[in-house]
Amino acid sequence: MDLLHRFSIRLLPPFTSSFNSEKLAPLYLSTRILLSRPAFPNPAPLSTPRSPLSSSAVSKAGWFLGLGDNKKMSLPEIVKAGDPVLHEPARDVEPDEIGSERIQKIIADMVRIMRMAPGVGLAAPQIGIPSRIIVLEDTAEYISYAPKEEIKMQDRRPFDLLVIVNPKLKKKSNRSALFFEGCLSVDGFRAVVERHLDVEVTGFGRDGQPIKVDASGWQARILQHECDHLDGTLYVDKMVPRTFRTVENLDLPLAEGGPKLGVR
């Protein structure tokens, strides 16, 4: 979730100084962590050279922001909306290929790009590869930068790195929630998206062994955001009408009659 990839769930929230459920912005969806406004009044610095990932400034960056310089050494660049690879279904990876040098390099590159963003999720199509592979990770450090009220409302908890090949997602309940999302492939914008609160994802791990993940809350949102990428779907294809906005206008109230953010 910038995320998602960028969330991206990088499954994309800029942190607000005071909690307001009507304007709550998610912390990391298609792929990155959000910046607090006090730390970066203007998100543009994310596009300039920056210090190593360990610095507090970079740690506050996010998949949700959909901002940043992704040109690092020989790593693939983030693909932007409009490229057919983002709008067409990705192909399954043959199980006997998962352990191959090619697939393992793709996975390693995806993890590096996600962490350098830094972000919480990334799908292979976001780096131009039409294969059904997603990676996601949310850390206690990332979460520590969000207001406690937002963390609780979003049911956001840390989880270790997950690599899922050929993921298949299904909902586990009828519960859903509305929060803002962003994507590294749709730079500088946000919109409200309704997502299931409880999902199950099955597939294969990095080692080629079967894997099953039961997720809820923010992790479930990131998984849905990233799995959508594999079906050629961006968050804007699912956004609630009249909630689309620029990052700069994220704190403005929703239009009259707009949705109430939070669990439905």
Does the CA dihedral 19-25-26-27 come out positive or negative?
A: negative
Pick the most confident of 16-20, 113-117, 134-138: 134-138
Q: Tell me what the mean pLDDT of segment 130-143 comes to.
A: 96
What tokens were used for 134? 């997603």
Lowest mean pLDDT among 43-52, 88-97, 106-115: 43-52
- pLDDT > 70? residue 32: no
**In this structure, are residues 110 and 10 in contact, taking their beta carbons and an 8 Å threshold?**
no
Owner of token pair 């999302």: 181
Span 178-211, pLDDT tens digits = 999 989 899 899 999 999 999 999 999 999 999 9
DSSP state at residue 233: -
Q: Is 194 a catalytic residue?
A: no
**In this structure, are residues 71 and 48 in contact, taking their beta carbons and an 8 Å threshold?**
no
In a domain, 18, yes or no: no
CA–CA distance, 31 with 118 (Å, rounded to integer): 8
Q: Tell me what the mean pLDDT of segment 232-261 comes to.
A: 95
CATH number of the domain to which 110 belongs? 3.90.45.10
Domain interval for residue 145:
44-263
Q: Which has more pLDDT, 48 or 224?
A: 224
- pLDDT > 60? residue 6: no
Q: Which has more pLDDT, 27 or 155?
A: 155
In the chain, the number of structural domains is 1
What pLDDT, on the 0 to 100 scale, is given for residue 116?
Answer: 87
Averaged pLDDT score across all residues of the chain: 80
CA–CA distance, 150 with 157 (Å, rounded to integer): 11
Q: Which residues have C-beta within 8 Å of that of residue 148, sequence separation ≥ 6?
A: none
Q: Tell me what the mean pLDDT of segment 138-160 comes to.
A: 93
- pLDDT > 80? residue 105: yes
Q: Which helix (H) or strand (E) holds 251?
A: none
Q: Tell me what the mean pLDDT of segment 68-72 comes to.
A: 44
- pLDDT > 80? residue 250: yes
What pLDDT, on the 0 to 100 scale, is given for residue 94?
Answer: 97
**In this structure, are residues 222 and 216 in contact, taking their beta carbons and an 8 Å threshold?**
no
CA–CA distance, 181 with 239 (Å, rounded to integer): 9
What pLDDT, on the 0 to 100 scale, is given for residue 187?
Answer: 85
Within 13 Å of residue 223, how many CA atoms lie on the same side as its CB? 30
Span 47-58, pLDDT tens digits = 333 334 433 333
Percent above pLDDT 70 for the chain: 72
Identified catalytic residue from 137, 150, 181, 226: 226
CA–CA distance, 103 with 115 (Å, rounded to integer): 19
- pLDDT > 50? residue 9: no
166 Rama sector, left if φ>0, alpha if ψ -120 to 50, beta otherwise: left
Pick the most confident of 1-15, 124-138, 181-195: 124-138
What pLDDT, on the 0 to 100 scale, is given for residue 49?
Answer: 38
Closest CA to 229 of 83, 136, 124, 158: 124
Q: Tell me what the mean pLDDT of segment 222-241 comes to.
A: 98
Closest CA to 6 of 83, 103, 79: 79
Q: Edge-to-edge, what's the strand order for the sheet holding 176-183?
A: 245-246, 186-196, 176-183, 262-263
In a domain, 259, yes or no: yes
pLDDT band, very low/low/confident/very high, at 130 (cuts 50, 70, 90): very high
What pLDDT, on the 0 to 100 scale, is given for residue 85?
Answer: 98
pLDDT band, very low/low/confident/very high, at 73 (cuts 50, 70, 90): low
